[in-house]
């Protein structure tokens, strides 16, 4: 597992329940992985989700613009964006 450009892994030990920034799966308290990117904390359900994000975080985050959620009411675990 490696840090991507501008992505830094941090401890998830004290994190509350949340949703994965990649697959939107639920993460139990203290579970999964956490990383800091562009001054914000993101949660990941598994190593594969983290690796996908770390490889190109800006590309993954831009998919949340516009019609990404296909009408579903979804928001990021840290409330950086919402799809209404």
Domain that holds residue 38: 7-72
Which CATH number goes with the domain that contains 16? 2.30.170
Whole-angstrom Cα distance, residue 67 to residue 49? 21
Please indicate, yes or no, if residue 44 is contained in any of the structural domains: yes
The total number of structural domains in the chain stands at: 1
The number of beta carbons lying within 10 Å of the beta carbon of residue 24 is 15
pLDDT recorded at residue 63: 65
Q: What is the pLDDT of residue 62?
A: 76
What per-residue confidence (pLDDT) applies to 71?
Answer: 46
One-letter-per-residue 3-state SS of 52-81: HHHHCHHHHHHCCCCCCCCCCCEECCCCCC
Task: Kindly state whether residue 39 falls inside one of the protein's structural domains.
Answer: yes
Predicted pLDDT at 43:
93
Which pLDDT value is given to residue 27? 93
In a domain, residue 52? The reply is yes
| pLDDT tens for the 84 residues of the chain, in order | 556 668 988 898 889 999 999 999 999 999 999 999 999 999 999 999 999 999 989 888 876 544 444 444 555 555 454 444
């Amino acid at each position: 597992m490696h840090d991507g450009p501008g992505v830094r892994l941090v401890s998830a030990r004290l994190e509350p329940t949340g949703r994965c920034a990649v697959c939107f799966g639920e993460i139990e308290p203290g579970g999964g992985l956490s990383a800091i990117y562009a001054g914000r904390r993101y949660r990941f359900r598994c190593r594969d989700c983290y690796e996908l994000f770390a490889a190109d975080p800006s590309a993954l985050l831009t998919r949340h613009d516009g019609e990404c959620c296909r009408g579903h009411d979804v928001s990021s675990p840290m409330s950086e964006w919402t799809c209404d």
